[in-house]
Amino acid sequence: MRFSDFSFAFPAILSAIMLTAILGPGGVNSILAIGLYNIPVFARLTRGSANSIWTREFVMAARASGKGRFRITFEHILPNILSIIIVQATILFAIAILAEAALSYLGLGTQPPEPSWGRMLNEAQTLMFLDPMQAIYPGIAIAIAVFGLNLLGDGLRDVLDPRLSRKR
Amino acid sequence: MSLLNVKDLSVILSTSEGPARAVRNLNFHLNRGETLGIVGESGCGKSMAALALMGLLPEQSETVGEIKFDGQNLLEKSDADMCQIRGNRLAMIFQEPMTSLNPVHTVGHQIMEPLRLHRNMSDNDARSETLRLLDRVGIPNPKELVDNYPHQLSGGQRQRVMIAIALSCQPDILIADEPTTALDVTIQDQILELIQTLVREEGMSLILISHDLGVISENTDNILVMYGGSAVETGQTAQIFDELIHPYTQGLFAAMPKLGRARGGRLVTIPGTVPDLISLPSGCTFTDRCPLATDICRNTPPPAVEVKANHFAACHHIDEARNRKTEELFS
């Protein structure tokens, strides 16, 4: 948790730039950089919501029926926070796409010949006035992907939460 | 020998303001098939005593004394050993049926859990046993209900499910911590009757915790009255209801609203509030609220005196308390 506090002190994108600068640009390195800096977000979210579930009465009831900590964690805590984690994952997925686009735009992400929306935006920049669609298409692609992932998160939450789902 | 023997049980909770003695030198025993009622107002340590029996106290607490269950001291057991006992030989029903079931699992799943855990039943066996249990606790359509989620059930039904879970492994002792407080009166009666019947038919012992004297009087063989973490009066239910001795017990009875009393009259209360568990007086904990209190009460803890056979009261002024009418003491 101390480590996560440390990483929260720096903006994620700045840290990712720092890491790719150290490790060198490239697809794998940018995945690593973005991934590593998203871990604390999950750690904090999981810990926070798990702690609040641990204080609930049904956990006490589960302990009273003889379950150990490990079983309770997986059978009672995890299913209750899974929807929160999944929703957060889809949102962070969207943010990660944006981050990768930003890294590639700066030339730190995926290297040619592998394609990347961020680099396409970068390359279209010089042709902005000759052929604006070159920049608009990857832009639209990024927007749709991000928006779609957010919708997916909402949809998943509705399906996973028994209190919100209705028998259809 | 009794099934459960609690000797000098104390629970000390460490709080930010210092150690709080939630239970102090509690002694009681319970034979197989017997029912014991623990009465007292909120914060007197009833629930803490129950959680201590189950080994479910919060981590920032210390338990001293001895809890002999079937010849073994539960306080010396490791958590893994306690997991074998909890739900299997000691079972507990909680106050809030609304929140005691996990919202993400079906009711059937939650009843099957202890069966699989303690009795190693296969899925099929566990399911048919679950249906039998649901029928046993008076759920009218077990087959439909077994795959429902807790939010689809009413409060009474959920408490029945909780009872089914507690009952699933045929425990030796059932601890019911205010099982009906969160339910409305008509359902209360049904649930208590159900617990009574099941306890009798399965030959279990019951520890019923309540602040409701009516509930206790109808459902128990023995009573333990708790105040400020310690027992102030113990004895057979009939005996205690026959003659109340400790001023606190008398106060509890006087505070019960009675039918037929003149309208507009004030309800009787015990003056003052429960003592702060962090700074308990060195003598009798009831001193500040007791109409009979004198200097000796303030400084010396009262010994438990056997007033009649097996009827104990911890008070310095037993004779005086016996001779005064309850109405005189609290009016």
Question: Identity (one letter) of the amino acid at B198?
Answer: L
Strand locations in chain B (E): 4-15, 18-30, 35-39, 61-69, 72-73, 90-93, 173-177, 205-210, 222-227, 230-236, 304-308, 311-314
Place of tokens 């303001």: B17
Q: What is the pLDDT of residues B134-151, one digit of tens each?
A: 988 888 888 988 999 998
CA distance A156 to chain B (A): 15
A contacts of B149 (beta carbons < 8 Å): 162
Give dist(CA A18, CA A22) in Å, integer: 6
Q: Closest Cα to residue A166, out of B92, B14, B306, B149? A: B149
Per-residue pLDDT of chain A (168 residues; tens, 9 = 90+): 666 666 666 676 777 788 888 888 777 888 888 888 788 888 888 999 999 999 888 998 898 888 888 889 988 899 888 888 888 888 888 888 888 888 888 887 777 787 888 888 888 888 888 888 888 888 899 899 989 988 888 888 777 665 555 444
Nearest CA among B214, B197, B46 for reference residue B206: B197
> Per the CB < 8 Å rule, is A58 touching B83?
no
Query: Which of A58, A60, A70, A73 is the best substitution to test chain B (most B C-beta atoms within 10 A)?
Result: A58
Q: What is the pLDDT of residue A168?
A: 40
- By C-alpha distance, the chain A residue nearest B84 is A66
Give the count of beta carbons closer than 10 Å to the beta carbon of residue B69: 20
pLDDT reported for residue B251: 83
- Can you give the pLDDT of all 331 residues of chain B as single tens digits? 688 999 889 998 888 888 888 888 888 889 988 999 999 888 788 888 999 999 888 888 889 898 998 888 888 888 888 888 888 899 999 888 888 898 888 999 999 988 988 888 888 999 999 999 998 888 888 898 899 999 899 888 898 899 999 988 889 999 998 888 878 888 888 888 899 898 988 889 999 998 888 888 888 999 999 988 888 889 998 888 888 888 888 888 887 777 666 666 677 777 777 777 777 777 888 888 888 888 888 888 888 888 888 888 888 888 887 777 666 667 6
B148, B106 contact by CB (below 8 A): yes
Burial class of residue B291 (count of CB atoms within 10 Å of its CB; 0-12, 13-18, 19+): middle
- Nearest chain A Cα to B114, which residue? A65
Secondary structure class of B71 (helix, strand, coil):
coil
Query: Measured between alpha carbons, how far is B15 from A138 in angstroms, rounded to an integer?
Result: 59
A-chain CB neighbours of B151 within 8 Å are 162-163
Rounded to 5°, the CA angle B7-B12-B13 comes to 145
Among B92, B88, B78, CA closest to B50: B92
Mind listing the pLDDT tens digit for each residue in B237-273? 888 888 888 888 888 888 777 766 666 667 777 777 7
Is A133 an interface residue toward B (CB < 8 Å)?
no
- CA distance, residue A6 to nearest chain B CA (Å): 29
Inspect the interface and report whether the beta carbons of A65 and B117 lie closer than 8 Å.
yes
Which strands make up the sheet holding B35-39, listed edge to edge? B90-93, B173-177, B205-210, B35-39, B222-227, B230-236, B311-314, B304-308
Largest CA distance in chain B: 67
| Among candidate residues A46, A157, A152, A149, the one with its CA nearest the CA of residue A93 | A149
Whether the CB-CB separation of A121 and A135 falls below 8 Å is answered with yes
Contacts of A72 in chain B (CB under 8 A): none
Specify the pLDDT at position B206.
93
> Of A52, A53, A65, which to mutate for an interface test with B (greatest number of B Cβ within 10 Å)?
A65
Nearest chain A Cα to B111, which residue?
Answer: A65
Residue A61 and residue B84: Cβ atoms within 8 Å? no
- pLDDT for the residue numbered B224: 92
What is the pairing mode between strands B173-177 and B205-210? parallel
DSSP per residue, A16-27? HHHHHHHH-SSH
C-beta separation of B158 from B100 below 8 A: yes
Say how many residues make up chain A. Answer: 168
Query: What is the DSSP secondary-structure string of B141-204?
Result: -HHHHTT--GGGS-HHHHHHHHHHHHHTT--SEEEEESTTTTS-HHHHHHHHHHHHHHHHHHT-
Largest Cα separation within chain A, whole Å, is: 72
Query: The dihedral of CA B19, B20, B21, B22: what is its sign?
Result: negative
Structure tokens at A157: 């939450």
Exposure class string for B173-202: b at 16+ Cβ within 10 A, else e: bbbbbbbbebbeeebbeebbebbbebbeee
8 Å CB contact of B101 and A56: no
B176 contacts on A by Cβ (under 8 Å): none
